[in-house]
C-alpha cells in the first residue's frame, strides 16, 4: 500500500495489461487495472482510495437506482510524442461536472479533490494509455447517490468513482441521421445541459426507432415548428455552410461539449469564421438546395468527430458532399490530435501532464 498526500493506493497484484492489445480495443470494452473511490458522508467528501478495478456492493434501495441522481464525465488521457502522459482539458471537464452536480442537487467537490484524484489514477494506470494515433485512455468519473433509502429525497450520501479504459476511434463510417420531429432529448428548463445518466437512457428509445428506419442516429431539435437543431446522438453538431462553421448556440437544453469548444477555438485560430446561433431544418434544406451545405459532423469526447453523410428531414433525404481529406472537420480534428500529443503548440494550456 502506498499513501500519497491524501490518497491511499492499493495496487493490483497481477496487471491485466499483458493480455490486452492496446491498439485494437472496441470502445468501452476494456477496463484498466485500477479505480478510484471517494465517499461523501457526514457532509464531506472523504479521502480517495485507489484500488484494483472490481465490483462494488450497493443496496437495492440505493437512491440513485430509483430517482436517478447520477452524473458523469467523459475525458481522455493521451500519450505525448515525448512519452509523457497528459489529461486533456481537465479544468473545463471539472467545471461541467460541477454544473451537472449542482443541477442534480449533488454536493460540490473541490477542484483539488477532483484534480488530485484524476492525476493519481491516471498515473497509476499510465501504462494503459495507448500510443497509436486516435487512441487514448478514456476516463469516466461519475457520482451517484449511494444512500440506502427509498423515500423520495435528495441523498445525503454519495459515491465518486473514476475508472478508465483504453479506446481507439469510436464511430468509423460517415453517419446517416434523421431530424427527430417527435421525441425530444431535452426541453428548456430541463436537464439537457447536465451530463446526467437519464439524458442518455431517455434517448435510447427514439435512437433505436431511428436505427430500425436505417439511420445511425437522430438530430435532436428544440421541439419548435422550426425544428431548430440541438445535438446529434450523444454529440454536439456543427455544419459548414458557405465556408462558415455554424453550430447551435449553447442553452440549457444543449450539453456544453468540450470537443465542441475545442473545435470552435481551433477553427477561429485557423481563420475560419464561426457562428454560434439557431439553425433550423429549413435553413439546412435551403443551404442544401443552393449547394452550400458543405459539411455536417458531430463532435464529442468519445468520437472526437463523426462526419455526417446524409440528413433526413420530414421523410426526405439530403445527401452531403462526399467526405474528403481536406474537409474542415478533419483538418480541425488533426490539429486537435496534434495539440493533444504535443505535435502542435498547446496555446491554451489544455494539456495537464501527469507523468513525464
Residues lying near ligand COI in the complex (CB under 6 A) are found at 74, 200, 234, 300-302
**Residue among 69 and 259 whose Cβ is closer to ligand COI:** 259
Least distance (Å) between residue 299 CB and ligand COI: 9
- Side-chain-side CA neighbours of residue 119 (13 Å): 20
Q: How far is the CB of 64 from ligand COI (least distance, A)?
A: 17
Which secondary-structure segment (H or E) carries 275? strand 273-276
- For ligand COI, the closer CB: 32 or 301: 301
Nearest to ligand COI of 7, 303 (CB atom):
303
**Strand pairing class (75-79; 136-145):** antiparallel
Cell numbers 447536465 correspond to what residue?
194
Total number of residues shown for the chain: 356
Is 149 strand, coil or helix? coil
Q: Which residues pair with 161 in a beta bridge?
A: 37, 142
Residue among 78 and 227 whose Cβ is closer to ligand COI: 78
Q: Least Å distance between CB 204 and ligand COI?
A: 11
Closest separation between CB of residue 37 and ligand COI, Å? 21
Q: Which of 328, 20, 338, 301 is nearest to 170 (CA)?
A: 301
Whichever of 165 and 300 has its CB closer to ligand COI, that residue is 300
C-alpha count within 13 angstroms, C-beta hemisphere, residue 329? 27
Q: Up-side HSE of residue 322: CA atoms within 13 Å toward CB?
A: 2
Q: Which three cell numbers stand for residue 88?
A: 486533456
Closer residue to ligand COI in complex, CB, 71/284: 71
**Nearest residue to the partner ligand COI, using Cβ:** 74
Q: How far is the CB of 77 from ligand COI (least distance, A)?
A: 13
Backbone φ and ψ for 200, nearest 5 degrees, come out as -80, -45
φ/ψ bin of 232: left (φ > 0), alpha (ψ from -120 to 50), beta (otherwise): beta
Q: Which is nearer to ligand COI, 27 or 318 (CB)?
A: 27
CB of 102 to ligand COI, least distance (A): 19
Q: Note whether 142 and 70 are within 8 A (CB).
A: yes
Residues near 224 by beta carbon (within 8 Å), at least 6 away in sequence = none
Nearest-approach distance from CB 225 to ligand COI, in angstroms: 29
User: Which DSSP state fits 3?
Assistant: E
Measured distance CA(76)–CA(62) in Å, rounded = 29
State in angstroms the smallest separation of the CB of 74 from ligand COI: 3
CB of 217 to ligand COI, least distance (A): 11
CB of 155 within 8 A of CB of 39? no
Q: How far apart are CA 130 and CA 38, in angstroms?
A: 27
Pick between residue 74 and residue 202 the one whose CB is nearest to ligand COI: 74
Which is closer to ligand COI, CB of 68 or CB of 74? 74
Amino acid at each position: 500500500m502506498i499513501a500519497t498526500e491524501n490518497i491511499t493506493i492499493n495496487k493490483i497484484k497481477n496487471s491485466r495489461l499483458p493480455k490486452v492489445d492496446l491498439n485494437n480495443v472496441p470502445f468501452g470494452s476494456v477496463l484498466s487495472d485500477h479505480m478510484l473511490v471517494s465517499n461523501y458522508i457526514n457532509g464531506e467528501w472523504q479521502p480517495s482510495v485507489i484500488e484494483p478495478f472490481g465490483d462494488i456492493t450497493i443496496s437495492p434501495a440505493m437512491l440513485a437506482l430509483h430517482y436517478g441522481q447520477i452524473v458523469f464525465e467523459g475525458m481522455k488521457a493521451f500519450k505525448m510524442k515525448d512519452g509523457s502522459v497528459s489529461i486533456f482539458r481537465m479544468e473545463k471537464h471539472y467545471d461541467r461536472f460541477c454544473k451537472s452536480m449542482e443541477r442534480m442537487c449533488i454536493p460540490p467537490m473541490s477542484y483539488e479533490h477532483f484534480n488530485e484524484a484524476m492525476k493519481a489514477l491516471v498515473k497509476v494506470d499510465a501504462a494503459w494509455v495507448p500510443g497509436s494515433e486516435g487512441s487514448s485512455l478514456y476516463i469516466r468519473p461519475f457520482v451517484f447517490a449511494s444512500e440506502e433509502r427509498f423515500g423520495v429525497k435528495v441523498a445525503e450520501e454519495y459515491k465518486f468513482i473514476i475508472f478508465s479504459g483504453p479506446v481507439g476511434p469510436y464511430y468509423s463510417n460517415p453517419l446517416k441521421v434523421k431530424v427527430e420531429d417527435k421525441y425530444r432529448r431535452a426541453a428548456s428548463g430541463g436537464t439537457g445541459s447536465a451530463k446526467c445518466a437519464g439524458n442518455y437512457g431517455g434517448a435510447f428509445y427514439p435512437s433505436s426507432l431511428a436505427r430500425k428506419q436505417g439511420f445511425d442516429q437522430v438530430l435532436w431539435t428544440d421541439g419548435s415548428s422550426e425544428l431548430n437543431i440541438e445535438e446529434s446522438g450523444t454529440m454536439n453538431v456543427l455544419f459548414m455552410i458557405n465556408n462558415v462553421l455554424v453550430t447551435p448556440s449553447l442553452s440549457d437544453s444543449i450539453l456544453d461539449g468540450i470537443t465542441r469548444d475545442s473545435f470552435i477555438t481551433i477553427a477561429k485560430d485557423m481563420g475560419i469564421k464561426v457562428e454560434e446561433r439557431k439553425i433550423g431544418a429549413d435553413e439546412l434544406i435551403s443551404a442544401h438546395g443552393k449547394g452550400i451545405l458543405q459539411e455536417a459532423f458531430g463532435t464529442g469526447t468519445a468520437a472526437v468527430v463523426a462526419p455526417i453523410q446524409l440528413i433526413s428531414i420530414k421523410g426526405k433525404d439530403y445527401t452531403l458532399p462526399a467526405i474528403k481529406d481536406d474537409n474542415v472537420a478533419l483538418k480541425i480534428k488533426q490539429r486537435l490530435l496534434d495539440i493533444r500529443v504535443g505535435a502542435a503548440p498547446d496555446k491554451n494550456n489544455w494539456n495537464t501532464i501527469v507523468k513525464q
